[in-house]
Amino acid sequence: MNGMKKYVAEFIGTAVLVIFACGTAAVVGPKVVDGAATPGYAATALAFGLAIVAMAYSIGNISGCHVNPAVSLGVYLCGKMSKEDFIGYLVAQFLGGLFGAAVLRGFIGTTGNLGADGLYNGNILASLLIEIVLTFVFVLSVLGVTSRPEFSKVAGLVIGLSLTLVHLLGIYFTGTSVNPARSLGPALFSGDAASISCVWVFIVAPFIGGALAAVVFKYLGNGVSEDTGKNAKSGKH
């Protein structure tokens, strides 16, 4: 039963992220006009960050508020969740993203392609690299701030601001995914052939970025733990 509650929480959290954040991305209009950012650019970045903050303090105590398969992969690779939960989270997140996109389409039709992502200048490789880097930074911040109990009170805020940060850069290039579940639903329900044809990029790249973040975090984390332990034993500070 506790496992099911976690999966339901992840479903709800991902649906909320898609409805409110992708919805904002869809309705605020062009993010860049004649090379200059519009107010919609910052509004979209904030919407993603604020959606995560809201959910973190709502369902974080139930599921940890991953609401992102790339985050769940990072947590799993760090040995902080079981294989069963990892699979359950992924299913819940993707279903939540699809449900959120369906609700959003009911609200606004296919306005703004429901906030679906797009390739940077039609370049698959560049888009893959951009999304890998953005996801790496975001997941690394999640793993870091959730690694110590004393950070728990501010974790939701830090994660939300980190998501805002990667969107402030990434929107210009791809619209910013860093979340396979956030990308799949809007692409499918938008009905846009271009969005559907490239959605695999925004599924594969975040998983790679999340995995790399886990590898780096484990390496850095283990190194810090060992050094700290040695210094403590030797009396060094």
C-alpha pair distances (Å), 185 with each of 71, 120, 211, 221, 234: 18, 20, 22, 34, 54
- pLDDT score of 33: 83
Q: Look up the pTM and report it.
A: 0.92
pLDDT at 224 over 70: no
In a domain, 116, yes or no: yes
Q: Give the CATH number, domain containing residue 197.
A: 1.20.1080.10
Q: Does any domain span residue 83? A: yes
- Examine residue 234 and state whether it is found in any structural domain, yes or no: no
In degrees and rounded to multiples of 5, residue 78 shows phi and psi of: -85, 5
Q: Residue 177's closest CA among 110, 105, 118?
A: 118
Confidence category of residue 193, pLDDT binned at 50, 70, 90: very high
Confidence of residue 235 (pLDDT cuts 50, 70, 90): very low
For the segment 65-109, what is each residue's pLDDT rounded down to a tens digit?
999 999 999 999 999 999 999 999 999 999 999 999 999 999 999
The domain containing residue 6 runs over which residues? 2-228
The C-alpha atoms of residue 187 and residue 66 are separated, in whole angstroms, by 21
| Higher-confidence position of 39 and 211 | 211
Angstrom CA distances, 146 to 6, 158, 196, stand at 17, 10, 34
Q: How distant, in Å, are the alpha carbons of 56, 57, 61, 148 from that of 153?
A: 10, 9, 11, 11
Percent of the chain with pLDDT over 70: 93
Q: What is the pLDDT of residue 83?
A: 97
Is the CB of residue 22 less than 8 Å from the CB of residue 113? Answer: no
Number of independent structural domains in the chain: 1
> How remote is the C-alpha of 94 from its chain's centroid?
12
Confidence of residue 1 (pLDDT cuts 50, 70, 90): low
Overall average pLDDT of the 220-230 stretch: 53
Residue 237 included in any domain: no
- pLDDT of the residue at 229: 41
